[in-house]
Amino acid sequence: MVASTVKKLLRAGDWLATPLNAARYLETINPLWSDHGRGRVERLIQETPDTVTLVIRANGAWAGGEAGQYVQLGLDIDGVRYWRCYSLASPVQPGSREFSVTVNRLDGGRVSTYINDCLRAGDLVHLKATAGDFVLPAQRDDQKLLFISAGSGVTPVMGMLRQLIAERSGADVVMLHFSPDYAHCIFHDELRASNSEQRRIHLAVTREDARDGDLAGHFSADMLEQVCPDWRSRQAYVCGPSSLMSAVSELFLGAGLSSQLKQEAFVLKRAEVPEGAGGKVGFVVAGKQVDADGKTSLLEVAEGAGLTPEHGCRMGICCGCLATLKEGQVRDLNTGEVFGESGEKVRICVCAAAGDVSLEL
């Protein structure tokens, strides 16, 4: 049943469906007929021992997105719905509702572990709108592009590379990707196959000997000069761990080319927190109070106390986790700044307790 037909049925049936609207009844027949973003896992691809790609077919309520953006994915685990942000690793083609995300297992990561170990084809996920400006330029046929990535930071870059290939774009691409070893190199075979005169892809390994003309070692200005002597004239994209992000950013800043660099961080660099920082955190609505150190985000503290506050990216970008501060002050874990007044909205995913604090949660 197409989305337009479903919408007509919803409008016609709402008055018959009291006390629920018609969408809730249709969901019992086919969950993808929901008027909320939903998706079905069509297949899973094991990329590395600890990384899996989910190919998802979305329903008509999901608005789609561009390669390189991130989508909020919701999964119900043991009766609790968890939201996480994952980059689109493939373009959403016109007329298609299919896209993919690639998920690397994180140590202690509840959702990433569940996805890698438990999710199966046919399972349903919740979807929220895509966001982010880590995307290809609108005019790209004659563009000279430079992609620099490491580890799972390759996923949005892979989405953009696949977009260019699907479009048969004339863009001139140089890509430099870092992996600890070959076994954990996500999309290794596809990257090899994509290498051409127009798309020059260079792989660097950091923990074992390089082979087949690849490079060994970490990012450096000399390495970039070696693989891409004209890097100063290219629109550049970098995604990966904070060490790579900092090194690339400093290089472009020193060259006066920061405006030519787009960055996407998966893990933000945290500020130093004084020993002994923290305090008691009160959750006013839930009627709970717990002890918290000064390094653990208030979102994690809330989840540890059994609460399930709304959130999205867990990196302070999407502002989906805003909560009202009732008393006390918080510390921004990215900058180290201590701030807060009663009634102020704070991003609980990147703020920690700076003494006793209470939140309207």
Tell me if 321 sits within 8 A of 348, measured CB to CB: yes
Nearest-angstrom CA–CA distance, 115 and 56: 13
Domain 36-131 of CATH type 2.40.30.10: yes
One-letter amino acid for residue 265 of the chain: A
Q: Which residues contact 160 (CB under 8 A, 6 or more apart)?
A: 67, 68, 135, 136, 147, 237
Tell me if 235 sits within 8 A of 260, measured CB to CB: yes
Question: CB-side exposure of 193: number of CA atoms within 13 Å?
Answer: 7
Nearest-angstrom CA–CA distance, 175 and 277: 42
Tell me if 207 sits within 8 A of 200, measured CB to CB: no
- The CATH number of the structural domain formed by 144-265 is 3.40.50.80
278-359 to CATH, choices 2.40.160.60, 3.60.10.10, 3.40.640.10, 3.10.20.30 = 3.10.20.30
Q: Where are the domains of the chain?
A: 36-131, 144-265, 278-359
Tens place of pLDDT per residue across the chain (361 aa): 455 665 555 565 555 555 555 555 455 555 676 778 899 999 999 999 999 999 999 998 888 899 999 998 999 998 888 888 899 999 887 778 899 999 999 988 889 999 999 999 999 999 988 888 999 998 888 899 999 999 999 999 999 999 999 998 889 999 999 999 999 999 999 999 999 999 999 999 999 999 989 999 999 999 999 999 999 999 999 999 989 999 999 999 999 999 999 998 766 667 788 877 899 999 999 999 999 999 999 998 998 898 888 877 777 777 788 999 999 999 999 888 999 999 999 999 999 999 999 999 9
At 4 the pLDDT is 60
At 1 the pLDDT is 47
List helix spans (H) across the chain. Answer: 3-13, 22-29, 110-117, 154-166, 188-194, 221-227, 242-254, 298-304
271 token code pair:
């500020």
DSSP conformational letter for 301:
H
Model-level pTM?
0.80
At 93 the pLDDT is 78
List helix spans (H) across 118-153. Answer: none
- Which residue, 264, 303, 262, is CA-closest to 85? 264
Nearest-angstrom CA–CA distance, 138 and 352: 39
DSSP conformational letter for 206:
S
Backbone region of residue 68 per phi and psi (left: phi > 0; alpha: psi in -120 to 50; beta: other values): left
Nearest-angstrom CA–CA distance, 67 and 83: 20
Nearest-angstrom CA–CA distance, 101 and 56: 8
CA-to-CA separations, 72 to 78, 109, 201, 266, in angstroms, rounded: 19, 16, 29, 14
At 45 the pLDDT is 97
Q: Which residues of 341-356 are buried (b: 16+ CB within 10 A; e: fewer)?
A: eeeeebbbbbbbbbbb
DSSP conformational letter for 258:
G
Cis peptide before 309 (omega within 30 of 0): no
At 203 the pLDDT is 97
- CA angle, corner 292, sides to 286 and 293, nearest 5? 160
Tell me if 321 sits within 8 A of 330, measured CB to CB: no
Strand partners, 56: 41, 99
